[in-house]
Structure formats: C-alpha cells, structure tokens
Structure 1
Amino acid sequence: MKDALFQPMRLGKASLKNRIVMPPMTRSRATQPGNIANDMMATYYAQRADAGLIVAEGTQISEMGQGYAWTPGIYTQEQIAGWKKVTDAVHAKGGVIYAQLWHVGRVTHPANIGGQQPISSSALKAENVKVFIDDGNNAPGFVDVVEPREMTKDDIRHVIGEYRQAALNAIEAGFDGIELHAANGYLVNQFIDSEANNRTDEYGGSIENRLRFLAEVVETMTNAIGAERVGVRLAPFTSLNGTVDKSPVETYTAAAALLNKLNVVYLHIAEVDWDDAPDTPPAFKQAIREAYKGTIIYAGRYNAENGAKAIAKGIADMIGFGRPFIANPDLPSRIMNDYPLAPHDPETLFGGAEKGLLDYPEYQTR
C-alpha cells in the first residue's frame, strides 16, 4: 500500500520523485538583524531534499507581515540572497522547493512590526492568542496580540502588491514556486472566515465577498509568475489563532471551486492535528475533489498507512508529514524501509542554533 507514496508525478513543470511533502514549519532561526535565511537553514532543507516537495517555512512578505521573532522575510535583496543559498542547496540534492508567502495580519505584536498597529480584515482582536517576541533573552518571550485596525481599500491594494512582489522575489531566489498561506488564522484567513470578518463592503458578508481578497491575491501572483507555480494552503476546520467560520463546508467548497477556476497548481489542506480533534468529514474531502481538479495535498495526522490509502482512494495526490520531518531528515527512506521514526525535541523547535535543527541523524541500519 505505501507504494502509492512513492509514485513519481508532475507538479506544474517540476518532476517530483515521490508524493511525500515536507510542509512549512516555523523554526525561527533567521539571521538577525534583517530576518535573513542563512547557511544553517540551507543545510536543514538540503538534508530533507528526498521529499517529493518541500514547502519552506512561512516567510513574511513585508515588515508588517511578521508575526513572530526571528522568522525569515522575502522583501529585501539580502533576504532574497539568503534564500538563494537554500534553494541552491536543495536543488543540488535533486529536490523541489516552494516558498510559503505569509502575512500574519492581526496575529502579531507591535514589537515584531516596528511599533506599528497590526492590520486585519476587521478591527477584531484574536482572543487568547499569543505570539513570541525577541525580549533580549535568546528565548521566545510570549505576549498577547493586540487589536488590529481594519484595512482600508488602499491597504488592501498595497498588500496585494506586496504579495505580487514577494512571488517575483521568490522566483528570483530560485524557488520552484510559491504557496500562499491562506490558513491557520493569518491574514487571508481573516478575510475568509465569517467570525473574523465583519466588513460591510465588497470584502465582507457573503462567502463570495469574503473570498474576494483570496481571489485578488492569487490572481496577481499567477499573473506575475504563472499559475503553474502557485499553490494555496487552506485550513477549513481549524480554529487556530482565533479564526472560525460558521459554515466551513460551504465556505471552503466555494474556495476550492474558486481556486480551480484560477487554475492554481495545488491545493494544500491543513487538517486539525491535535490528538482528540475530530476527523475531517469524508464527504467534505469528496466535495473538495469534485470542486478542484488540480493536485491536492493533505497534511495533519498522517502516517505511511493512512497517507498511502488517501492517495489510493483518489482523495489526495500528495501527503504532508510535518513534525516527523523535524527529527527524521531521511523520512522518505524510513517510510520506504519501515524504519522506526525518531522523536523530536519540543524545546528546540523555535529559535536557537544548530541543536534541534541539524543534529538529527539519518537511520543507521547497523
């Protein structure tokens, strides 16, 4: 059954050696000042280049787009040059790597965005949400987010332009494509989900209106770099960072149909992955498959067995394995050979240096 994970496939113009995806995971190790990708990150991703597709960690498109300390950006020449080191290292190992373009909207604190007030679809504070700032102790200092200001039409046009430029910058940096982060409660998600958006203009109210920002961002990026290099990540049933939708099945089936019309190269769905979370309804997955005809990636509580089954059933084309990739740089080999998986150290996920990033070994057979 697991052979389904090891069938080669095409993604746009790229040839993928398997259907295993390393999804984006924030590690907060960008060089300071400047939030620049570095040699350490290049080694980290190159170690994992046997994945069919790597989607690099969330990368802010502007200073205002940053939610957490020490995350990389892609809006300065220094940042583009830093990411070029990463893409060169991955390509040297025969890998394919996309950039995840990220604007957090309200999920931040003025300390992370030059003292400014965050922006969002609406002036609604995300309740019970914390982010981490650099408090000078070399360890994340967690603080509550603050109330954002509602974006004006000029703000919306400006941010759409930032997404366009970030997509161009990603291609300049050598990425094979980009993934729009429209999930997990960040800016695009703050427009999509009904309970985070109380606008009364054409960007709020109906499902069509709440999907308008997503559509305009995707259109500007596909016009800039080609639809065959643009994927989108959605999280239909999560309530991460305080975003909730009243009718997620209806909203996200409409989103899938919209993205099909816009011809994006893949749809990446993040499922709820905490231990006692409900499963995504099978009928919803079938509706997504019917609405969207391109490549579908699912990530969440997947292992080799249920991931391969999802591909064999035709529900998914690729499967993302997040945390297992942290401690198992050779994860495809371990899956193929039924080798045991190493656990990761949760204390070294965010910030720090090589410990917990580069020092997980490949499996030794003797």
Structure 2
Amino acid sequence: MKKQLLTPLALGRLNLKNRVVMAPMTRSRAEHGSEAPTALNALYYAQRSSAGLIITEGTQVSRQGQGYAYTPGIYSREQVVGWKQVTQAVHDAGGLIAAQLWHVGRMSHASFQEQGAVPVAPSAIRAQAQVFVSDGMGSGLMAPAEQPREMTLEDIESVKQSFVEASRNAMEAGFDLVEIHGANGYLFDQFLATGTNKRLDAYGGSLENRARFLLETVDALIHVVGADRVGVRLSPWGTISDIQDDEPEAMALFLAHALDQRNIAYLHLAEWEWTGGQAYPEGFRQRMRSAFQKTLIVCGNYDAERGETLLAQGLADAVAMGRPFIANPDLVERIRQEVPLSEANPELFYGGDAKGYTDYPTHPAL
C-alpha cells in the first residue's frame, strides 16, 4: 500500500493533490513552423492531469534556444495562445502545470538559428553529441551538434531577458509555475560544469562565478513572477549531452544553499544512474536535504516503491516520473490501485502524431 506518494503537498503557493510529478519529456509534437502547441498537446497533458504537478517538456525561450525539431517555444504570440489551450485543458481536468523554460546552448544546429547563425555557449567547445533536426519532410533525423561561439556579456544579458519574457508569457498563458532547466548538459549546465566553462571573466572559474548566470536568471524571474512560482532543475554527476564536471557535489550544494535562501518553490534533481551514469555518493542525499529545506523533487527512473522509500526517509518531498506517464495516462490511479503498468513504444517517443502520444488507454479495471 503506497502512502506518502498519494498524500497532498504544499509547494510554493500551490497545494498538490499528490506527490507524483509528471517529469518533463521532449516529445517533438509542436506545430511545424510555428513551434506552437496544438489541441493535440492539450489533450496529451490533460490526460495526465491526475499528477500532483505536470512539468512540461523543455520549452525554448527563443529561437536561439532551440536544439531539437518540433519542440514548442514560448516567445511568440502564437505559442502563448497554444499554451493557453494546454493550461486550460489541464486546469479543467483538475491539474496543475509548470512550464520548463529551456535554452540548449551549444546543443543546437544552424537550421534552428536565425539566418543560420552559430549556436552560443559559455566557451567555444563543441559537444560530442547529436541533436534531432528536421528532414524537411515532417520527420526528423540525428545530426552532430555544431561548433558554438563563446557568449559575450551582451549575449548573457540577452538570454536572461529571454527567460524574463518567457516567464511573463508563461503567466499570461496560465501556467502555475515556471521551471528553469539548469540540467542535462544544456546552457545553464554548460556554465556550471568545469568541462564546458573555460571563461576567464565573472562567469567562469570559481563555483560562485560559474553559478552566477543561473542565479542571476533565478533572481530576475523571482522579480517578475515571485519566488514561490519558480523551480530549478539540476543534474549533478550527469554526463548527458557530453557534459563533464570536476566539482559536481560542491556545485550542487552551493546552488542548493543559494536557492534555499531565495525561497524558491522547489528544486528538481535529475539523476542519470539508470542510463549508466554515476550514482550519488554516500551521504549526498542527506547533505542536499540539509542544504535545501524547501520542496525537493527527485527524478531518475523511479517507480512507486523506490519513490516511497525516499519519501519515508525524508530525503525527497515528491517524485517525478517520466516514461511511465507516456503509456499510463492514469499512472496515479494505477499506483493507488496497484495495477500493472503498460509499456511505451520508444519508436514513437519523438515526433509524429497521436499514435504513441494520446492513444494509450487507461487500465480496463479502473
């Protein structure tokens, strides 16, 4: 019998009906050309609104911030209108939803940039990784990430302003919260990590300098939407997107303390042990719990039992689940009733239409 996962949770100004969070998952089904959400996206999220909180797929704050085909943006009028459909559908179904604000940095391709511009990064270091680009016929294919250029101070200010405008757009679109994507090898993570940030100015070198861009952006969003509407996602020890860091624990604890002082709504930790990444060292969860006293969300191939264990130990307040939500729109009820979960078809994760997106049925016994 699962207990704590299904209990309410106060998060910022919100009251979550349970502690099962739908994790952000790129599905690449925005409208081609406008990158605006559609009625299909609204149905997808509404079907899963029994989650205590839905965190959207990564949503680029500008055209420069895009690195994958058919992902939604939140910088144009058409995109804001599209997201209004989504938030309305989720709210009508009794759910809560956060917009994950995203800039991919060097994990991009000239085909996404204005006039084929070069992607930006803290330092001009190319990612040994691939991105999902359009094949020009409505489908996608993998291509190498391109060589980026080092961001100027003006670039940094411009990106911060993009996040400010995106947070305003998110509020206009009806979102309950915004989450800054500081994880998984994307722009903020590139600044945090020693392997990708070789800058010699105020945004490179020490922990404090490498964290400066993220914390300045957090402060800017707090000013616009309020601390209790802001979450942050981090991924210490992550290696996805060719990210390498020599000080993962020191940076994670430094940021946890700094974000706790800012009274943000939550901190969301993405773990990558399940894909072959490094496991958290002994005692890290306890140290993180001490450093961050607000709502702590964990994410990393959790099932109900593993999540319940961390909640019972007081090492997390909520558990984000990703892939189980793809094939189980009624995941929370399946957890409640302890019925088997359906398996998703990975060939239908990215791009396409309703197939493998909104056509997974609820359990016949529920």
TM-score bracket relative to the smaller structure: over 0.9
The aligned counterpart of 2:198 is 198
The aligned counterpart of 2:48 is 48
For 2:34 and 2:48, locate their aligned partners in 1 and report how far apart those are by CA, in whole Å: 25
SS in 1 for 2:308: helix
5 Å-filtered alignment, 1:295-310, equals 295-310=295-310
For 2:135 and 2:84, locate their aligned partners in 1 and report how far apart those are by CA, in whole Å: 29
Shift of 1:144: 0.4
SS in 1 for 2:143: strand
Question: Per-residue CA shift, 1:151-198, capped at 9, x if unaligned?
Answer: 101111111111111001000000001000000000000100111100
For 2:170 and 2:138, locate their aligned partners in 1 and report how far apart those are by CA, in whole Å: 29
For 1:276 and 1:35, locate their aligned partners in 2 and report how far apart those are by CA, in whole Å: 32
Q: 1:275 to 1:109 in 2, by over 3 A?
A: closer
For 1:164 and 1:9, locate their aligned partners in 2 and report how far apart those are by CA, in whole Å: 27
SS in 1 for 2:233: strand
Question: Per-residue CA shift, 1:110-158, capped at 9, x if unaligned?
Answer: 012231100011111112x000111123321111011111110111111
Amino acid of the structure 2 residue aligned with 1:119:
V
Q: Structure 1 residue 246 and structure 2 residue 211: aligned?
A: no
The aligned counterpart of 1:152 is 152
Question: Per-residue CA shift, 1:24-82, capped at 9, x if unaligned?
Answer: 00000001221000100000000000000000110000000001010000001110000
The aligned counterpart of 2:127 is 126
SS in 2 for 1:231: strand
Q: Structure 1 residue 235 and structure 2 residue 235: aligned?
A: yes
The aligned counterpart of 2:74 is 74
Gaps of 5+ in 2: none
The aligned counterpart of 2:109 is 109
For 1:155 and 1:277, locate their aligned partners in 2 and report how far apart those are by CA, in whole Å: 32
For 2:137 and 2:33, locate their aligned partners in 1 and report how far apart those are by CA, in whole Å: 15
Shift of 1:275: 4.7
For 1:276 and 1:56, locate their aligned partners in 2 and report how far apart those are by CA, in whole Å: 25
For 1:159 and 1:118, locate their aligned partners in 2 and report how far apart those are by CA, in whole Å: 12
Contact 2:301 2:322 (C-alpha < 8 Å) held by counterparts: no
The aligned counterpart of 2:181 is 181
Question: Per-residue CA shift, 1:302-334, capped at 9, x if unaligned?
Answer: 111110110111100000111000000000011
Amino acid of the structure 2 residue aligned with 1:326:
I
The aligned counterpart of 1:12 is 12
Shift of 1:274: 3.0
Amino acid of the structure 1 residue aligned with 2:20:
I
5 Å-filtered alignment, 1:1-366, equals 2-114=2-114, 115-127=116-128, 129-365=129-365
Contact 2:239 2:277 (C-alpha < 8 Å) held by counterparts: no
SS in 1 for 2:264: coil
Gaps of 5+ in 1: none
For 2:316 and 2:289, locate their aligned partners in 1 and report how far apart those are by CA, in whole Å: 8
Contact 2:32 2:138 (C-alpha < 8 Å) held by counterparts: no
SS in 2 for 1:107: coil
For 1:274 and 1:15, locate their aligned partners in 2 and report how far apart those are by CA, in whole Å: 30
SS in 2 for 1:126: coil
Amino acid of the structure 2 residue aligned with 1:286:
Q
* Bigger shift: residues 278-287 or 183-192: 278-287
Shift of 1:282: 4.1
Amino acid of the structure 1 residue aligned with 2:297:
I
For 1:211 and 1:96, locate their aligned partners in 2 and report how far apart those are by CA, in whole Å: 29
SS in 2 for 1:360: coil
SS in 2 for 1:143: strand
SS in 1 for 2:3: helix
For 1:165 and 1:139, locate their aligned partners in 2 and report how far apart those are by CA, in whole Å: 30
Q: Identity across aligned pairs (percent)?
A: 48
Question: Per-residue CA shift, 1:261-319, capped at 9, x if unaligned?
Answer: 22211000000143544432341111111111110000002111110110111100000
Amino acid of the structure 1 residue aligned with 2:342:
A
Q: 1:94 to 1:282 in 2, by over 3 A?
A: farther
TM-score normalised to structure 2 length: 0.98
Q: 1:221 to 1:347 in 2, by over 3 A?
A: same
How large is the RMSD of aligned CA atoms in angstroms? 1.1
